[in-house]
Amino acid sequence: MRSELLAFVQTELIGGKDGESLSVEDDLLTDELIDSMGVMRLIAFIEETYHCKIPVQDVTIENFVSVDAICRYLEKSDSEG
């Protein structure tokens, strides 16, 4: 899941930025690596790929700050769901 998400963020959302390589811990939000449309595309990608629906109250900075944070959130909600 981590590599799949990392690849999506890197190529679809950040793509073209000098080919810098992104790590799972990199902060996607503070330095504005992805914009608000990027956030929505990311959510749509996750919901489609992992057949889940992310509740509105879970779309937070804490859960989406990095690829690592997203994976931790998805694993947690999967084990709870």
Q: Compute the residue count for the chain.
A: 81
Give the number of other Cβ atoms within 10 Å of residue 64's Cβ: 20
The mark string for 6-45 relative to other proteins (x by CB under 8 A, - otherwise) is: ------xx-xx------------xxxx-xxxx-xxx--x-
Q: Is the Cβ–Cβ distance between 37 and 31 less than 8 Å? A: no
**CA–CA gap between residue 12 and residue 4 (Å, rounded):** 12
Tokens of 62: 């804490």
Interface with other proteins (CB under 8 A), residue from 2, 60, 75, 76: 60
Query: Is the Cβ of residue 1 or residue 59 nearer to other proteins in the bound state?
Result: 59
Residues that bind other proteins (CB under 8 A): 12-13, 15-16, 29-32, 34-37, 39-41, 44, 56-57, 59-61, 64-65
